[in-house]
Amino acid sequence: MTKPALTALARSLPASVPFVGPEAAERANGKPFIARLGANENTFGPSPRAIAAMQKAASEVWMYADPESHDLRIALAVHHGVAPENIMVGEGIDTLLGVLVRLYVGQNDPVVTSDGAYPTFNYHVAGFGGVLHKVPYLDDHEDPASLIAKAREVGAKLIYIANPDNPMGTWHNADVIDQMIADVPDGSLLVLDEAYIEMAPAGTAPAMQIDNPNLIRMRTFSKAHGMAGARVGYAIGAAEVIDAFNKVRNHFGMGRISQAGALAALADHDWLAHIQTQIAQARDRITQIAADNGLTALPSATNFVAIDCGQDGNFARRVLAALIAQGIFVRMPFVAPQDRCIRISCGTPAEMDRFAEALPKALDTMS
């Protein structure tokens, strides 16, 4: 007997994922990491109120979750000063990006992003047959003007930008993003990924433009709220853009436990402020560790810091490998010249101490 053939598109794709998880690396190495500083997770953890809400919801997990995420959407709408019709909740930004690409990108449709930017977006574009057009970073920042120019040139369906940026941690002020939004060409949708916005300085996020059909914003509970494993993200946009998600989304994708945790986390403003302080202190510590070893940390508005290793990508990869050999899980940008850096997630004081001990040993192996 023969199995059915894959589609031509599926046959053309590599059987790979954008990121190899730390668990896979631990299995390959045969030992656990002593500091998990590579996945931009919030090791300070979620709000105690969120934990309590998720524990309570665990006893109700025999029930399906509300497929409309009604209570969470209402709370998010109030939080952002928009209507519930302007909010779509999904299983993390990654899933929402996949649904968005499915809605707008067909075979050979052009899409614009930065070379070396968030690879999961690229993964979805490839999975639906779109064609990626990339522009380089400018001084380790996303380049809004070049992204818009490329979108005009190729007639892009989607334009992707993260602000603050992953993997570099850099950011643009709201006025720069506002100008980018104003310059979006007809027929294009700007995808503004704001996963790290809660860690950014005041004045980074532009005001809501909720009636703009050429803009969609992505937010998450994975970073500042410390709920990466719960997979809760949401999109903010014009009602007609948001309603389109209902055509193809997984209506029962959200779990009850995740919804309950996110609802409680959103209400715990004191815990968020506490986490913002912890992250700021950890960024300062990473910057000092880098300086103590003759390296330069890039300014960051995220829960990670990119450290310039001072040479090329091959050198940075050797530093990364030497850290991993000591049980310190880190990652790095994929594309030159940003790949001269390694990327260190903010961690607890104990994790920062382990990194501080391991980095000079890693650099010693380079000599």
User: Are the CB atoms for 45 and 279 separated by under 8 Å?
Assistant: no
Q: Where are the domains of the chain?
A: 8-45+270-364, 48-268
Matching residue, tokens 């497929």? 67
Cα dihedral sign for 74, 77, 79, 82? negative
Predicted pLDDT at 93 = 98
Q: pLDDT, tens digit, for every residue of 288-331?
A: 999 999 999 999 999 999 999 999 999 999 999 999 999 999 99
Which pairs from 147-154 meet CB under 8 Å and 24+ separation? 147/112, 147/113, 147/114, 147/180, 148/180, 148/183, 148/184, 148/185, 150/112, 151/112, 151/184, 151/185, 151/188, 152/185, 154/110, 154/112
Query: Which CA distances in Å does 43 have to 185, 278, 314?
Result: 40, 10, 29
Q: pLDDT, tens digit, for every residue of 355-366?
A: 999 999 999 998
Q: Give the contacts of 139 (CB within 8 A, at least 6 positions apart).
A: none
**What's the CATH code, domain 48-268?**
3.40.640.10
% of the chain residues with pLDDT over 70: 100
Query: Phi and psi at residue 70, in whole multiples of 5°?
Result: -55, -55
Predicted pLDDT at 1 = 84
Give me the count of residues in the chain. 367
Superfamily, domain 8-45+270-364 = Aspartate Aminotransferase, domain 1 (3.90.1150.10)
Average pLDDT rounded to a whole number, residues 59-67: 96
pLDDT-derived band of residue 16, with 50, 70 and 90 as boundaries? Answer: confident
